[in-house]
Structure 1
């Protein structure tokens, strides 16, 4: 795999308010942008190869150039609910971004070849693709590989610009 710089660090939480407050205090995060009730349906997401169906509240901010993501599961089974059940709230994954869909597919394949299988994957509205790979036995719970199309990147850039 090529050298990857994380573009995001993500936490799973039961309490967006408390986590936003603490990360603002500890990392200097700016304004948080909430996206409530994001539905990941079976037509766009899989969990361990089977159709997934869950809802999560998501909140985004930035600390410098690094995107901070908070995920609060609402319903259904996902790697987020599994994480909360196993270890409680905490840091969940880091994300790297692929330049295009071909690079995304190559990065996912390279991760699997390296022994980090896909645990959950899907496509968000707007065409953003994501795959969570993991090798928990080696101390690597989850790395998210994403392809962020220009329209979604524009939304992220706007959220980042609101931090000033």
Structure 2
């Protein structure tokens, strides 16, 4: 995974409305698409090496070609609730697209904090190197179905 450009910047927040307003003003995002109650289940997700079971409200927009993601955690322990407890709301991760998450993880000098498959087949892994000031990098395989959804959101910005 050399010289990859981040495709997404993500924030964790307790208040989607306030964060949407701020990023609309600061980055020019025009329309936000909300996905309430996204469930990450123990059959497809892990957090700190254990099965994960949590829910988050997610909001997506674009600033140019870069996707903006807002995550408001709900029920269950997750990489998002941990971040809010330790740091409060704020910039959580940047995401890079990979063809194969397993291959991208091999040989990496970072801890895998969370991993899973979202509804629609998007596979993700969060790696962290906090000792070097890197909270999280998300590695994501984005299948065609999810890419089409993202492209639709991007077109809404024009």
TM-score (norm 1): 0.94
**Deviations, residues 65-111 of structure 1 (Å, cap 9, x unaligned):** 0000000001100010010011100000000001x3xx3221111xx
Q: Distance in 2 between matches of 1:48 and 1:153?
A: 28
Q: Distance in 2 between matches of 1:114 and 1:163?
A: 35
Instruction: Identify the residue that residue 79 of structure 1 maps to in structure 2.
Output: 79
Q: Secondary structure at the match of 1:30?
A: coil
Give the CA deviation at 1:33.
0.1
Give the CA deviation at 1:2.
1.6
Q: Distance in 2 between matches of 1:69 and 1:126?
A: 17
Q: How many residues were matched structurally?
A: 158
Instruction: Identify the residue that residue 106 of structure 1 maps to in structure 2.
Output: 103
Alpha-carbon RMSD = 0.8
Q: Secondary structure at the match of 2:14?
A: coil
Instruction: Identify the residue that residue 90 of structure 1 maps to in structure 2.
Output: 90
Instruction: Identify the residue that residue 133 of structure 2 maps to in structure 1.
Output: 139
Q: Distance in 1 between matches of 2:114 and 2:13?
A: 18
Q: Distance in 2 between matches of 1:146 and 1:61?
A: 17
Give the CA deviation at 1:27.
0.4
1:124 aligns with 2:121: no
TM-score (norm 2): 0.98
Give the CA deviation at 1:115.
1.6
Q: Secondary structure at the match of 1:75?
A: coil
| Pick aligned residue for 2:149 from 147, 152, 155 | 155
Q: Distance in 2 between matches of 1:40 and 1:126?
A: 12
Q: Which runs of 4+ in 1 moved over 2 A?
A: none
